[in-house]
Structure 1
Amino acid sequence: MELNGAQIEALADLLVDSHDELLSSLVKMRKKHGLSQEQVAERMGISQPAVASFERYDANPTLATIRRYALAVQASIEHRVVDQCCILVAREATGGASRSMSWNPRQSVEWEWAAGETHVKAFVNA
């Protein structure tokens, strides 16, 4: 199933938001544990300015750096890959007509359709 431009844009926004949320959560964890940027830098084996750069709103650290920062602030990270293609567009076939369902990437989606005698039901957690 191919996504249209609006759906691709919505997915891109979701990915950016989740990246920002990940970095923000790690910085909050550092502060919650009462750790300074200097302490985190020492644990990571880098300089304090490098930690400050990591914590900037426009930072784009590598996954390895994110893991090292998480370890330094005593956090774990869970990875999850979700196939958004299946929930971006769900079509219901009824007598030759098809209808697209709405999509909200932050909600669970449930959809069902029937094609002749075949019934397909899917539950997807976004």
Structure 2
Amino acid sequence: MKLNDIESSFSSISEDEKVIIDTLVKLCAERIKRNIPQTVFAKRIGIKQPQLAKLEMLDSVPTLATLNRYANGLGPA
């Protein structure tokens, strides 16, 4: 896949969804930076690890409630 292909696939995503995706990517990076394994983090936020993996792989656009849960699971910065 080329960069142009990726960019064109993003053109079908709304600006709101792009903001949500960008936020999730930053939260996921913070989880990794803090060295919190998916299994531990999934339990912390009350979901199963496979669900967290799908969320972080952007299989679907998360809701704001899900982002809030994720952020709260990270606690204070």
Task: Tell me, yes or no, whether TM beats 0.5.
Answer: yes
Structure-1 residue corresponding to 2:24: 23
Cα drift, residue 45 of structure 1: 1.5
Which structure has greater helix proportion?
2
- Alpha-carbon separation, structure 2, partners of 1:31 and 1:25: 10
Unmatched 5+ stretches in structure 2:
1-10
Q: 1:20 to 1:75 in 2, by over 3 A?
A: farther
Contact 1:20 1:57 in 2 (8 A): yes
Larger RCO (alpha carbons 8 Å, 6+ apart): 2
**Pairing of 1:57-96 with structure 2 (within 5 A):** 57-74=58-75
- Alpha-carbon separation, structure 2, partners of 1:40 and 1:46: 9
Cα drift, residue 37 of structure 1: 0.7
Cα drift, residue 62 of structure 1: 1.7
Question: Aligned pairs, how many?
Answer: 66
Which structure has greater strand proportion?
1
Structure-2 residue corresponding to 1:50: 51
Q: 1:71 to 1:50 in 2, by over 3 A?
A: same
Cα drift, residue 28 of structure 1: 0.4
- Scaled by the length of structure 2, the TM-score of the pair is 0.69
Q: Which has the larger radius of gyration?
A: 1
Q: 1:75 to 1:62 in 2, by over 3 A?
A: farther
- Alpha-carbon separation, structure 2, partners of 1:15 and 1:48: 26
Aligned-CA RMSD value: 2.2
Unmatched 5+ stretches in structure 1:
1-9, 77-126
Percent identity reads 33
